[in-house]
A and B are shown apart, each in its own frame.
Chain A
Amino acid sequence: MYKVIYNKRINTNSFEMLVEAPMVVKKFIPGQFAIVMAKSDSEKIPLTIYDCDKEKGLLYLIYQVVGASTLELSYVTDSIYSVTGPLGVPSEICTNVEDYKDKRIVYVGGGVGIAPVYPQVKYLKEHGINVDVIYGCRNKDLMIIKDKIEEVCSNVEYTTDDGSFGEKGFVTNILERNVNKYDICVAIGPVIMMKNVCILTKKYNLKTIVSMNPIMVDGSGMCGACRCLIDGKPKFACIHGPEFDGHKVDFDSALKRMNTYKEEEKNKFDQMEVLLNEKN
């Protein structure tokens, strides 16, 4: 059991959770993630590590309620059953900071994808690298951690689909205008956004790293559920990723594979709603 300090709603459907998990945060490097289970009989789900307090052993997680398991997690108050991590390969840029000292870097975050962007931008700032950030959302109400990201980045540009905040349109509009300014782009968000960013950056030959978020089970390489086609070959997002060279990712099969359990997930969601209603 891991003590939950808080688990609070940060917008209509996203939550931030603070958990005591010293083993997870001790060696965390941005780019890595955690797998959690709300209760002993819960599904294992991969979540974004958004920040951590290494001294106090505290782990900050951000998640969006998209299905039964995240819904269940949003009801947690005192403790959660399992937190495993850090998992995955750390960000290539954060691991080799020295190599990127004089590189011009742009981070593109879409929706809750800004959460895994934050620790990378923060880490790089701490190591003397200032990057640009483009943050896109469907609308203003869905924006999260705006103040936090501005604390670590002096040049954040915003887009919303409906124009309710920042520029109306998509992250790719802003990126395309400035594409020649950069040596490297990191895009994290919905698969369709990462795909569109990569179509654009490929055109301009701008190296792009993406962070894949496929269906996952154990997170240790054992099951292969999270395999993505990278350069035509299956790679496991849990241990070979989650970050990959965006120009080598087969986004179309990744998009389709996310629908594998669509029907089953709907049933589980209905089942979970009933279960949670009974208890509350």
Chain B
Amino acid sequence: MKKTKMRMQSPSDRINNFDEVELGFNSSEALTEANRCLQCASPRCVKGCPVNIEIPKFIKEIKEGNIEKAYEIIKNSSSLPAVCGRVCPQEKQCEGMCVKGIKGEAIAIGALERYVADYALKNNYTSVLNIEKSNKKIAIVGSGPAGLTCAGELAKNGYSVTIYEVLHEAGGVLTYGIPEFRLPKEIVKKEIDSLINLGVEIKTDVPVGNAITISDLQKEYDYVFLAQGAGLPKFMNIPGEEGNEVFSANEILTRINLMKAYKRDSKTPIKSSKKAYVIGGGNVAMDAVRSLKRLGIEAHLMYRRSEEELPARKVEIEHAKEEGIIFDLLSNPKRILLDENNNVIGMEVVDMELSEVIDGRRSVNEIVGSEHTVDCDMVVMALGTSPNHEAVKHSNIEINDKGLIVVEELKTSLNNVYAGGDAVTGSATVILAMEAGKKAAKRIMEE
């Protein structure tokens, strides 16, 4: 029996809106899919999950129609199930380990998780908890997936948690980065509201490092968890990058998602364009290029390696193709061409070829003499980020040569200060940040 496919908006419809692409399972689809699960005695899927959700157990509850029970099981391990069900790279984690996947298709674990979480949010399930209040106060810097998860875990255990967020809305990358069509902001808001219901306080508009320092937080709180995320968008350092229509993917996504620039009556503008190139091959690149397509732009994705090496989630690549994103693979910009007004008019690009594998990654070389120009009026850099030290700038926290915060078992060089997520690892995924948030909470509770 094959994997149950999720219903989706058709590509021709969805390129004209920002509504969610995947529509989720209904109860009979969820049941059909749950029934495919073999309920392994020694489940590999759980090991593949960074937060070790007891996957067979919750699937068993779906089979038996106990969705509320299934939700409790997931919630025991994950603070943001409706988010993870949508954005985790399941093919590399739980589903990648699923026994069924060896000969056929893995169980659609992500889709089932999403089904349970959405059902719970829709029916306002609140996990009934008898919280015993602890007198410990924790400050968390950043309200992205790491911070929210840590907050949820601690609040469930009675700790008093305050999150500091520099933006006007909580959620970090879930709010400013991942587009509506992949992760509706309504869902993010509900997940955050459920944490607020647990007693978590979120202070928005606070630039930690400027308005309040780490040492202030150390004085005021028993523990501090730094989860400020990845930081500054990288550029290529090629000529022409100062062009007016050269943007970071973060800027495009922030304008669209956080500031709602995709709406006609939005007060925040987004640059109009006829033909745009997004440079990069990760999830952020995919989010940016698919967002631009929805604004009616001829949207290209330029990546220097081949399709096989694209780091993005597989399903996003498939969706992007269906939506008519043009993939310019094995290509790389050499410079951006500008007119006298600093407006982008094209790019000089060079073809690339794959060579040997170094440190587990395919290296690439330019093909000499293959330089040619392409027309375009917008270039978007989605090349990852370099660390942002704003939050920790007045502290003497130990930073490594890559600029990342040094931790041992999530503990930093500062007293009672922990750190996790992208601030420690560099740009990674939502679920890995959540794993760090969960571990940090555990470490703090063990103290």
Interface residues of A (CB under 8 A from B): 23-24, 26-27, 32, 37, 40-44, 68-69, 72, 81-87, 217-225, 227, 229, 233-234, 236, 239, 250, 253, 256-257, 259-261, 263-265, 267-268, 271-272
Contact = CB atoms under 8 A, between A and B. Distances in A.
A83 to B, nearest CB: 6
Interface string B262-282: 000111111110000000000
A115 B413 CA distance: 41
A84 B205 contact: yes
Contact of B270 (A27, A219, A264): A264
B388 A260 contact: no
B98 to A, nearest CB: 36
Contacts of B245: 260
What are the nearest 4 A-B pairs in CB distance? Answer: A256-B342, A264-B269, A223-B251, A82-B168
Contacts of B33: none
A267 B265 CA distance: 10
B342 A224 contact: no
Contacts of A32: 210
A37 B168 contact: yes
A69 B261 CA distance: 14
B121 interface: no
A43 B168 contact: no
Interface residues of B, number: 42
29 contacts: A23-B205, A27-B211, A40-B168, A43-B267, A44-B268, A82-B205, A87-B207, A217-B268, A218-B176, A219-B166, A220-B207, A222-B176, A222-B231, A224-B232, A224-B233, A224-B250, A225-B248, A234-B237, A234-B241, A239-B232, A239-B388, A256-B244, A259-B341, A259-B342, A260-B244, A264-B271, A264-B272, A265-B269, A267-B269
A217 B267 contact: no
A116 to B, nearest CB: 16
Contact of A257 (B232, B237, B242, B266): B242
A40 B235 CA distance: 31
Contacts of B167: 84, 218, 220
Interface of B: 166-168, 176, 203-207, 210-212, 231-233, 235, 237, 241-242, 244-245, 247-248, 250-251, 254-255, 258-260, 265-272, 341-342, 388, 390
B206 to A, nearest CB: 6
Nearest to A234: B235
Nearest to A29: B210
A259 B342 CA distance: 9
A43 B265 CA distance: 12
A268 B267 contact: yes
A224 B268 CA distance: 16
A85 B235 CA distance: 26
A217 B235 contact: no
A221 B390 contact: yes
Contacts of B205: 23, 82-84
B209 to A, nearest CB: 9
A81 B267 CA distance: 14
A61 B295 CA distance: 35
Given A23-B206, A32-B210, A257 B267 contact: no
A264 B250 CA distance: 20
A215 to B, nearest CB: 10
Contacts of B271: 260-261, 264
A220 B390 contact: yes
Given A44-B259, A224-B232, A23 B212 contact: yes
A124 to B, nearest CB: 21
Contacts of A224: 232-233, 235, 247-248, 250-251
Nearest to A41: B267
A122 to B, nearest CB: 20
A218 B166 contact: yes
Contacts of B237: 233-234
Nearest to A40: B168
A137 B265 CA distance: 35
A87 B272 CA distance: 29
